[in-house]
Amino acid sequence: MRLRLLLILAALVGCVHRPASPETEAHRLPAGDNIVGSIHVGLGIPLDPDPLDDYFIDRRFLVASYNPKRRVVNWVAWRVVAADLGSVHRRDNFRPDGLLPLGFYRVRSIEYERTGFDRGHLCPSADRTSSREANDSTFLMTNVQPQLPSMNRGPWAELESYTRRLVRRGKQVYVVAGGTVSLLGTSRSSLSWSRSSRSRTSRCTPPSTRS
């Protein structure tokens, strides 16, 4: 069967590197889940020069690079095929990721209240409707970044719908989604977000921080 891929942006070619082999790549990965060989990173694993801000997590239905310093993911990667699209309805059960290691701050849904930002999915709920388990996995806070409502519910939602239309036409879609985040300040209990933008491409550099 011929494999057809969707490259959302040409930047993927320059930023994503296909591992030469599990043995070669394994020593480059920081502590965390071994995502080498995951179907979700079939185009390669986005890496930057600093491995200390990349804690790799594998949640079966998606994989991600989590930044423990900024308490948000650098990127999330997932594959979408026809079998992923079913009839399960979302139930908006946003929750902390309990599988993060001890010592990692676990962002809570309540921290988005009265911020003016949506809890923006990276891997969208609608891409994982084949089962309750799959859909619930998208509501982990490690799959969320702050997103302006006008973006999240407009152009971003339209792009998500477009990728699913491609899948229904018989294509396989590989997505790497990340964002840039500026933090005005952090505390043990809350994050103050100044702005966020997301693009469906791999990231070559970690998000910048403004003090």
H/E element, 75: strand 72-80
Which 3 state secondary structure label does DSSP give 192? strand
Nearest to 107 by CA among 145, 154, 80: 145
Q: CA–CA separation, 33 vs 39, rounded Å?
A: 14
Identify whether the C-beta of residue 71 lies closer than 8 Å to the C-beta of residue 191.
yes
Catalytic residues: 121
For residue 156, give both structure tokens: 């971003």
Q: What are phi and psi of 67, to 5 degrees?
A: -105, 100
Identify whether the C-beta of residue 176 lies closer than 8 Å to the C-beta of residue 200.
yes
Identify whether the C-beta of residue 200 lies closer than 8 Å to the C-beta of residue 44.
no
Nearest to 9 by CA among 46, 58, 36, 61: 46
Identify whether the C-beta of residue 159 lies closer than 8 Å to the C-beta of residue 9.
no
